[in-house]
């Protein structure tokens, strides 16, 4: 049984011609890039020629900083390949999995998404978006199923800021980027508390239209910002209305609002009074 050191010249011509072996090797590298803390398999073996690499003794690891971190334009190019508008890379599904659930990325809490890590690392997903209602263009962003949903506590992705257009290398609009944060909502005695969690999502869609369409495939980057503190906002809502309808970005109330200066206490008048004394 053949074996060799793990480097570019080590794979002999027999193994190099074996696509299954190369595929297993690349899949291992992809898995380590996506999750550097996850140990690789102890051995990689070709089912055809039986060529193998003893990973535990020969795997050199990856250089520090190696990661999958595409730009917004590159994500849109991957999305083009996914929807059939351009050639797709053979390994893209290993780096960006597709969520097949009808609810899209909202089918579960983000910490339950496949491969997710709460360490600030980016995770990417293809998924479809859908409208929340039969009438209007409001998108479905409420988490449908979550272990955290107890006692009137709910989670929803909330768009913040303005959509940003993504230009290609010729300055033409390729698509749009939306930034969303995960909001936690709890209600007690008619008072609603909304807490901005540390989960953030950057959603990208193709086309010149600023808003994505119902059923359209998009690509999203999801990450957990562990260094950000949560902030809570208290507000009154109508219990009979949609708890999230028409909500705006949460803002922190001013604890000490500026007070107007009395007419007789202006600095110039004070100086004149002291001078006359």
Per residue in 165-193, pLDDT (tens digit) is 999 999 999 999 999 999 998 877 778 88
| Contact criterion met (CB below 8 Å) for 222 and 201 | yes
Same domain for 99 and 63:
no
Same domain for 54 and 163:
no
Same domain for 229 and 111:
yes
Instruction: Give the model's pLDDT for residue 90.
Output: 86
The CATH number that applies at residue 180 is: 2.170.150.80
Domain-terminating residue out of 67, 86, 117 = 67
Does a structural domain hold residue 171? yes
Find the domain containing 111 and state its range: 72-236
Q: How many CA atoms lie within 13 A of 244 on its CB side?
A: 21
Tokens of 192: 């609603």
Same domain for 157 and 126:
yes
Instruction: Give the model's pLDDT for residue 209.
Output: 96
Instruction: Give the model's pLDDT for residue 241.
Output: 39
Instruction: Give the model's pLDDT for residue 26.
Output: 72
Same domain for 122 and 7:
no
Does a structural domain hold residue 259? no
Does a structural domain hold residue 276? no
Instruction: Give the model's pLDDT for residue 71.
Output: 97
Q: 176-193: buried (b, 16+ CB within 10 Å) or exposed (e) per residue?
A: bbbebbbbbbebeeeebe
Q: How many CA atoms lie within 13 A of 219 on its CB side?
A: 25
Same domain for 144 and 62:
no
Same domain for 118 and 135:
yes
Domain-terminating residue out of 236, 253, 269 = 236
Same domain for 226 and 123:
yes
Instruction: Give the model's pLDDT for residue 16.
Output: 55
Does a structural domain hold residue 170? yes
User: Would you write out the chain's pLDDT as a tens digit for each of its 277 residues?
Assistant: 444 444 444 445 555 556 666 666 677 777 767 766 666 666 677 666 666 666 656 666 667 777 889 999 999 999 999 999 999 998 899 899 999 998 999 999 999 999 898 888 899 999 999 998 888 888 999 998 655 545 568 899 999 999 999 999 999 999 999 999 999 988 777 788 889 999 999 999 999 999 999 999 999 999 998 764 444 443 333 333 344 444 434 444 444 445 555 555 444 444 444 444 4
Same domain for 80 and 19:
no
Cα(266)–Cα(15) distance, rounded to whole angstroms? 86
Instruction: Give the model's pLDDT for residue 211.
Output: 94
Same domain for 150 and 16:
no
Same domain for 209 and 103:
yes
Instruction: Report the number of distinct structural domains present in the chain.
Output: 2
Which single residue is written with the structure tokens 């999995």? 97
Does a structural domain hold residue 11? yes
């Amino acid at each position: 049984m053949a074996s060799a050191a793990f480097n570019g010249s080590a794979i002999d011509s027999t193994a190099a011609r074996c696509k299954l072996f190369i595929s297993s090797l690349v899949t291992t590298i992809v898995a380590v890039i996506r999750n550097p803390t996850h140990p690789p398999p102890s051995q990689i073996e070709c089912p055809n020629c039986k060529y193998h690499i003893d990973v535990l003794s020969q795997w050199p690891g990856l250089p520090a900083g190696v990661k999958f971190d595409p730009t917004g334009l590159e994500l849109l190019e991957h999305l083009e390949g996914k929807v059939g508008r351009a050639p797709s890379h053979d390994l893209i599904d290993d780096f960006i999995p597709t969520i097949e659930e009808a609810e899209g990325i909202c089918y579960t809490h983000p910490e339950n998404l496949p491969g997710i890590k709460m360490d600030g690392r980016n995770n990417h997903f293809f998924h479809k978006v859908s409208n929340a209602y039969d009438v209007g263009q409001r998108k479905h962003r409420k988490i449908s199923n979550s272990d955290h949903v107890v006692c009137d506590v709910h989670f929803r992705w909330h768009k913040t800021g303005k959509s940003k257009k993504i230009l290609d290398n010729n300055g033409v609009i390729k698509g749009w980027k939306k930034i969303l944060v995960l909001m936690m909502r709890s209600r007690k005695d008619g008072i609603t508390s909304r807490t901005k969690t540390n989960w953030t999502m950057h959603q990208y869609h193709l086309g010149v239209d600023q808003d994505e369409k119902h059923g359209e495939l998009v690509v999203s980057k999801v990450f957990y910002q562990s260094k950000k503190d949560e902030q809570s906002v208290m507000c009154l809502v109508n219990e009979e209305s949609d708890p999230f309808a028409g909500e705006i970005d949460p803002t922190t109330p001013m604890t000490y609002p500026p007070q107007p200066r009395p007419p007789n206490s202006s600095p110039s008048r004070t100086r004149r009074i002291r001078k006359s004394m």
